[in-house]
Amino acid sequence: MKNIAVFTSGGDASGMNACIRAVVRAGLQKGLKVFGIMHGYEGMINGEFIEMDSRSVGNIIHRGGTILKSSRSERFMTPEGRKLAYEEVKKHNIDGIIAIGGDGTFKGAQAFTSEHGIPFIGLPGTIDNDLYGTDCTIGYDTAINTAMECIDKVRDTATSHGRLFFVEVMGRDVGYIALGSGIAAGAEDIFIPETQTDLQAVSDKLKQSAHKESYIIVVSEGDDAGHVKEISEKFKEMHPEYDIRFLVLGHLLRGGNPTAGDRILASRLGIAAVNALIEGNHNVMLGWRHNKLAQTPLEKAVKHHIEVNRDLLEILQLLSY
């Protein structure tokens, strides 16, 4: 193992830069040449390889986004596209690759390594926290803290006007962002894809809480009840006596300076990825479980998703009245 490459793919997540920094500096300390691949798999196909030194990653640990940029590549989803990428990888004498991203990134890595034999290490970089094999993904802690701060601000104006607010957060097929930020911000209810939303039951609960000065419901974008706008309109019909508003936080949750938790997690995993390549422990996703490093085969990481923590649901039910 002499030359390694690192790239980011899929949706950006705060902490990716801290992870890139750890990979580059750990690789250099181990005597490796480290290349950054710009624009993910699309950049791999286009030969966008940049040799990096310690200064390349200076002053980035606190920055959100990714200095290597990111993209989604339709071409890489085909065998022909992956063959073009392999030719570029060999042209640059790359012996192993570290991929920072989510489920789609790992599926691409699995297909690439099975066809062309290039060793891969996957690192979980996604705000959704939806990957099997790690308690937290890089970017999740920052995302829920950003969402919490926004919900806190919404609470101020909701209380001032006695309003009911529906706040939608990202999360696609999983509700961890909604669950974590909702509990932290004291939301009265949380709608997530993992549980069926009963609007009538929520309406009944609202009547029991009529004494409250404000009412905040956090909605995961993948909830079965629909888009937050649709939900708010249904509630206006059910409760014309309430001043009901909605807010979509959207891509706001992907940006911002990473929290200390995300910076430390990203640094740990970046160093561990370099060590894994050197030691010949390939084609795994590295995560952090039960306060220690955990390894999951890429095949298992892309086929399994974590289930929502039922203890968190109980916390919500006990504290939201």
Q: What is the pLDDT of residues 76-94, one digit of tens each?
A: 999 999 999 999 999 999 9
Q: What is the pTM of this model?
A: 0.95
Go through 68-94 and write b for each residue having 16 or more CB atoms within 10 A of its CB, e for each that does not.
Answer: bbbebbeebeeeebbebbbebbeebeb
Do 72 and 117 reside in the same domain of the chain? yes
Sheet of 96-101, strand order: 49-52, 33-37, 3-8, 96-101, 120-124, 284-289, 292-297
Do 272 and 126 reside in the same domain of the chain? yes
Q: State how far the Cα of 85 lies from the Cα of 121, in Å rounded to an integer.
A: 17
Which whole number is the average pLDDT over 115-134?
A: 95
Asked whether residue 216 is assigned to any structural domain, the reply reads: yes
Mean predicted lDDT score pLDDT of the chain: 94
SS3 percent helix, strand, coil of the chain, rounded to 5, is 45, 20, 35
Share of the chain above pLDDT 90, in %: 83
Catalytic residue flag (residue 128) = yes
The token pair that represents 181 in the structure block: 């930020």
Asked whether residue 319 is assigned to any structural domain, the reply reads: no
Task: Indicate the pLDDT class of residue 8, thresholds 50, 70 and 90.
Answer: very high
Task: Indicate the pLDDT class of residue 241, thresholds 50, 70 and 90.
Answer: confident
Is the pLDDT score of 301 beyond 90? no
DSSP state of 192: -
Is the pLDDT score of 29 beyond 70? yes
Is the pLDDT score of 307 beyond 80? no
Which whole number is the average pLDDT over 291-297?
A: 96
Is the pLDDT score of 4 beyond 80? yes
Choosing from 128, 130, 141, 189, which is the catalytic residue?
Answer: 128
Task: Give the domain range for residue 224.
Answer: 141-254
Domain count across the chain: 2
Which whole number is the average pLDDT over 139-166?
A: 96
Do 65 and 128 reside in the same domain of the chain? yes
Q: State how far the Cα of 277 lies from the Cα of 96, in Å rounded to an integer.
A: 7
**Do the Cβ atoms of 81 and 45 come closer than 8 Å?**
yes
Do 214 and 231 reside in the same domain of the chain? yes
**For position 207, what pLDDT does the model report?**
81
Do 220 and 281 reside in the same domain of the chain? no
Asked whether residue 242 is assigned to any structural domain, the reply reads: yes
